[in-house]
Amino acid sequence: MSDQELDFDPDELAMLRQLFRSEAEESLEQVTIRVLAAGSAKPSAEALTEMMRVTHTLKGAAGTVGLGAIVDLSHRLESALAALGRDATPWTATTADQIVEITDGLRGYFAVAGEPAADTLADQIRVQIDQIARPDRRPNSLPPPFVEPPPEPILEPAPHDTPVPEPKAMLRVEPDRIDALMSSAGELLFDRTRIERRVQLLRTLARDLARTRQTLHDSLGDAGVPGRATLVATESELAGQAALLSQTTAALLDEIEALRRTIGELQRGLTRIRMESAKSLMTHAARTLRALRRATGVVVELRTLGEDTEFDKAVAEQLFDPITQLLRNAVAHGVESADERIALGKPANATITIRARQDGNLLVLEITDDGRGIDTATVRDRLIASGQWSQARAQLADDGEILDALLGSGVSVKDDTDELAGRGIGIGLVRQTVSRLGGEVKVSSTPHRGTTFSLRLPLSTALAQAMLFKVGGQVYAIPNVHVVDTTLVDAHVSVTT
């Protein structure tokens, strides 16, 4: 079914479709999350009902923006989920994978909507949906297109006393606008610093004025000073002005402190707007690992911790590729075969654990497998063979240095190459991406127990607190997350290192 023509201004239609795409991708993500949460088992009736509600809403929204193909595909998916919910269609070992492929396919359709490739992709998705609804049906047999049917009940009608959750109110704001506000908050910080310096000058002036008044007061102790009465009056006036200046300076400092607190609240509020939980990253990891299992036949389970940890959405989006690469490496290098694991006294199924946590202003992301670990002796030999290390350098290096060198050397611990790994390039790209975000990557490994990659990077890249210092009259700043320790140095004492 081709897209429909609507009576909208082209710019307005483009805006509506962009809004629809954003909402649709979130809806499809909800379907994926519920499928992945159930593992290989069939989701609960409540989960299936929610998945159908999402696809039903998607169908209606697609119709309002003239995306007829999405209307048809959403309807077919909703009907297939209803059949699964009624047990009319069995849930097989591949059903979950098929649903994830369908939601990924629908996301892909948004990118090519209106292009020749869109019709081909839509036909492929129809076949996948048909295989879920009727596994015994031949794949090349397509059901008729959707033509505005009456609404179907979702599994079974909900009881009248079942509360309906209130939809969350959402306000969509372009990231550029938030970034502009963050920049304005940063400018306010500089303005506060400039005002604070001027107030300090006033404070110094008040002290100088007080000293001048005191000197004048001491001079008036001699009763024979000509014009003493006039000077006494002047000294009294100076005393009053000095006191007023001191009070004004103190009040200004109080106002500056209040401004500092307000700016801090503004920064924290704007930062929270950009934040999202680690759940989307964990969902991406689950989807990636599911695809790797299907491609390799390796049986590995995913364990996630810290899904509620929040960090900048821009950071999360940059971490998708590194997480994918680390999972690929874990499956290709780290995980043993089931027979090998059993011989070592391990469970037949391997486990990869992803843990997210906050450490001050840093996000810590740890990816751990319980596999064979990294053979540092092999890495040392290959660093020598590639000419990156000399024999002397290799003999002096400990395991920590060897593992650190693995991150940027382009050396692989695998003898052969395949689609997953083998060239040692991927791990270097992980470090490059994390470094670009202002973070670092550390790796630790224990033979026969597994490997952990630890990614430490700022929670947000939009605004960061920094330590200011002056060298040669020039002011510099270092982000606080990179400051380990500070020392006060006497300007008149030379320091050598």
Mean pLDDT of 32-46: 84
Statement: residue 420 has pLDDT above 60: no
Residue 496: predicted pLDDT: 61
Q: Quickly count: other Cβ atoms within 10 Å of residue 284's Cβ.
A: 20
User: Are residues 234 and 381 both part of a single domain?
Assistant: no
CB-count burial class (<10 Å; 0-12, 13-18, 19+) for 188: middle
Domain enclosing residue 49, as ranges: 10-133
- In Å, how far are 45, 48, 55, 75, 163 from 158, measured between CA atoms? 12, 13, 18, 20, 9
Mean pLDDT of 388-395: 89
Residue 236: predicted pLDDT: 76
279-327 confidence digits (pLDDT tens): 889 988 988 888 888 888 888 999 999 999 998 888 888 898 899 889 9
Q: Are 471 and 379 contacting, i.e. CB atoms less than 8 angstroms apart?
A: no
Supply the mean pLDDT for the chain: 79
Beta strands 310-312 and 275-277, pairing class: antiparallel
User: Are residues 209 and 321 both part of a single domain?
Assistant: no
Residue 302: predicted pLDDT: 92
User: Are residues 289 and 203 both part of a single domain?
Assistant: no
User: Are residues 374 and 452 both part of a single domain?
Assistant: yes
Opening angle at CA 405, ends 402 and 411, nearest 5: 100
Number of domains in the chain: 3
Calpha distance 301→267 (Å, rounded):
39
Say what the pTM is. Answer: 0.63
What type of residue sits at position 424? Answer: G
Token pair in block for residue 185 = 């908050």
Q: Which of 131-135, 383-387, 450-454 has the highest mean predicted lDDT (pLDDT)? A: 450-454
Per the domain annotation, does 160 fall within a domain? no
Residue 326: predicted pLDDT: 92
Per the domain annotation, does 138 fall within a domain? no
Token pair in block for residue 186 = 């940063």
User: Are residues 211 and 284 both part of a single domain?
Assistant: no
Per the domain annotation, does 15 fall within a domain? yes
**Rounded (10°) angle between helices 10-37 and 95-112:** 170
Q: Are 316 and 434 contacting, i.e. CB atoms less than 8 angstroms apart?
A: no
Per the domain annotation, does 208 fall within a domain? yes
Give kind and range of the element (H or E) at residue 413.
none
155-165 confidence digits (pLDDT tens): 333 343 434 34
Statement: residue 3 has pLDDT above 60: no
377: helix, coil or strand?
helix
Statement: residue 153 has pLDDT above 60: no
Mean pLDDT of 207-219: 76
Using 50, 70 and 90 to split pLDDT, how confident is the model at 410?
low
Calpha distance 394→399 (Å, rounded):
10
User: Are residues 364 and 421 both part of a single domain?
Assistant: yes
Per the domain annotation, does 96 fall within a domain? yes
Where does a domain end: 104, 133, 162? 133
If phi over 0 gives left and psi between -120 and 50 gives alpha, with beta otherwise, what is residue 422? left
User: Are residues 249 and 295 both part of a single domain?
Assistant: no
**Cβ neighbours of residue 279 closer than 8 Å, sequence gap 6 or more:** 33, 307, 308
Calpha distance 238→235 (Å, rounded):
5
Residue 345: predicted pLDDT: 92
Calpha distance 415→497 (Å, rounded):
45
Per the domain annotation, does 439 fall within a domain? yes
Residue 319: CATH number of its domain: 3.30.565.10
Q: Are 154 and 82 contacting, i.e. CB atoms less than 8 angstroms apart?
A: yes
49: helix, coil or strand?
helix
Residue 363: predicted pLDDT: 93
Where does a domain end: 221, 250, 275? 275
User: Are residues 226 and 262 both part of a single domain?
Assistant: yes
Calpha distance 126→138 (Å, rounded):
12
User: Are residues 91 and 77 both part of a single domain?
Assistant: yes
Residue 108: CATH number of its domain: 1.20.120.160
Per the domain annotation, does 426 fall within a domain? yes
Statement: residue 417 has pLDDT above 70: no
User: Are residues 180 and 47 both part of a single domain?
Assistant: no
User: Are residues 338 and 221 both part of a single domain?
Assistant: no
Residue 483: predicted pLDDT: 79
Residue 223: predicted pLDDT: 53
117-147 confidence digits (pLDDT tens): 888 899 999 999 988 876 554 444 444 444 4
Mean pLDDT of 456-476: 78
Where does a domain end: 133, 167, 202? 133
Residue 220: predicted pLDDT: 65
Residue 161: predicted pLDDT: 41
Q: Are 203 and 245 contacting, i.e. CB atoms less than 8 angstroms apart?
A: no
Per the domain annotation, does 395 fall within a domain? yes
Residue 88: predicted pLDDT: 60
Residue 227: predicted pLDDT: 62
User: Are residues 387 and 298 both part of a single domain?
Assistant: yes
Calpha distance 276→307 (Å, rounded):
10
